[in-house]
Chain A
Amino acid sequence: MSDPTILVLSSLAGGEKHGYAMMEDIERFGGVRLGPGTLYGAITRLEKQGWIAPVGPRDRRQLYKLTAAGRAHLQEQLENLGRIVRTGQRRLENV
């Protein structure tokens, strides 16, 4: 699972963060080291979709938060992933 948009949404689900904090968090919980180009590509797309939003005034270390639409999208994506994971595990157990 290395879709950067899901990783960023999951990171922001734990609270507001700026870019560098997201990178650290994602590396910690996902074991994935996102490059700056990949991270900001995902942030740009997610902000354009309205799934994340900047918090407070413009800053060099801009904080971002998950929006309600972003939360719903993440929920949907994780449920889909969960279904896939459960199906895969069940099938592995039956082998």
Chain B
Amino acid sequence: MKRILKTLGRLYPRAWRERYGEEFDAILEDRKPCLLDIADVLLGAFRMRVSVRHLVQIVLPCGLAGAAIAWGIAARTPARYSSDTVVKFTSYRLTPVCSNPDELPATLRPSKGACGESRAVMDKGMQAWIQPALDRDFLISVIKSKRLYWEQQQSHVPIEQLVDTMRAHINLRPIGSAENGASTQAYRIEFQYSEPRLAQDVVALLASRSMDAFIKSSLAQIKAQGVSGPRQYARTIAIVRTPSFSTTPLGVSRVHQVELGFLAGSLAGLLLTLSLGSKSAGESRKLRSES
């Protein structure tokens, strides 16, 4: 412990050590050390190196510079808002008595113990219903009709690049599944954009696109089997949660970014102060002349 304290004693400024170092080491030898002494010596060294003048002249300006830089970055980075919706796909196995298309509404009730299509089939179908929401032509039509990424459009950014950007801001994710008399899978469709209202509109369009694909796929299946032919499964699609509208931007708020910038700048200023060595050249000279 004494060795640790002596080592920590070297953190004091050189000029101070030249004047008080030997006495300080002697006191560490005489005294029975305790754990609190470590913090005490560390704090003492810090106080010797950093004065109020340093805080005002170096640390505070560095903190303000950090805050200004953070503000600049935050101002150049547009806020993004998220909107999402949840779409639920369900597949029921139809009982023979319900295989008549005229009775289809009644057949949508799952019979006891009956399962829907297998998970693999459902997953495959899900991909077919969800993926059209990412289709290039569809996204181009949304970008143009909703005037998304308008500044980039005005700057003649290639449309393919905007499609890629939009895809990066779309998040399609399965959020749960269940096998309870039927196979159910839910998908979350999210879109992030700089305007919350447009984010919400786009999510509604993406959900509509999925529903269209689902209906087309189901109709194609019915057509393939023949309208009056026996059917094994019935499928439903439901919007579990309507597209959300949020005025709270994603990520760290600008105020917090500025606060973080101030803290980072202050920390840099503090490190700069500590690296400068003693409190000031004048004080060092005074201490040396006194010693």
Contact surface of A with B, Cβ cutoff 8 Å: 18-20, 23, 35-41, 43-44, 47, 58-62
Contacts and interface: CB of A to CB of B under 8 A. Distances in A.
Interface of B: 5, 16, 20, 22-28, 30-31, 36-37, 39-45, 47-48, 290-291
B16 A44 contact: yes
B26 A19 contact: yes
A39 B44 CA distance: 9
Contact residues of B: prevailing secondary structure: helix
A19 B23 contact: yes
A18 B24 CA distance: 11
Contacts of B290: 47
Contacts, number: 61
A41 B23 CA distance: 13
Contact residues of A: prevailing secondary structure: helix
Nearest to A20: B30
Given A35-B40, A37-B43, A44 B27 contact: no
B258 to A, nearest CB: 34
A38 B44 contact: yes
B44 to A, nearest CB: 2
Nearest to A62: B23
Contact of B41 (A19, A37, A58, A62): A37
A60 B23 contact: yes
B26 A38 contact: no
A62 B48 CA distance: 20
Contact of A61 (B23, B39, B45): B23
B31 A40 contact: no
B40 A20 contact: no
Contacts of B41: 35-37
A23 B47 CA distance: 20
A62 B290 CA distance: 14
Contacts of A44: 16, 20, 48
Given A20-B26, A44-B16, A60-B22, A36 B48 contact: no
Nearest to B23: A62
B48 A41 contact: yes
Contact of A60 (B26, B37, B47): B26
Contacts of A60: 22-23, 25-26
Given A19-B26, A20-B26, A36 B40 contact: yes
A11 B41 CA distance: 21
B45 A39 contact: no
Given A19-B27, A36-B37, A40-B27, 15 more contacts: A20-B31, A23-B27, A35-B36, A35-B40, A36-B31, A36-B41, A37-B37, A40-B20, A40-B23, A40-B44, A41-B44, A41-B48, A44-B20, A58-B291, A60-B23
